[in-house]
Amino acid sequence: MSRKTQRRGAQRENTVDLHAPIGGQLDLFVPSAETPVPKPRAQRDDTEPEPQRAV
């Protein structure tokens, strides 16, 4: 059971890390059509992954 718990924790971290960078890139690519909405969102996504990576 210990191994299963560890695996779940790693998957959760990987999912968050992948979501942070992917979300930022997608926001910049898709928001191209919406300029006022992607600007604030892109900044927020960039700020979130930065502190997570440092930790």
Q: What is the largest CA-CA distance in the chain?
A: 48
* The pLDDT value given to residue 53: 59
pLDDT digits (tens, 9 = 90+) for 26-55: 555 554 555 555 555 555 555 555 555 556
Q: What is the pLDDT of residue 18?
A: 54
* Both tokens assigned to 43: 């900044």
DSSP string, 5-43: HHHHHHHHHHHHHHHHHHHHHHHHHGGGS-STTHHHHHH
Count of domains for the chain? 1
Instruction: Give me the pLDDT at residue 46, please.
Output: 54
Q: What is the pLDDT of residue 15?
A: 52
31 close to 42: Cβ distance less than 8 angstroms = yes
Per the structure, the complete domain to which residue 19 belongs is given by: 2-54
For residues 1 and 9, is the Cβ–Cβ distance under 8 A?
Answer: no
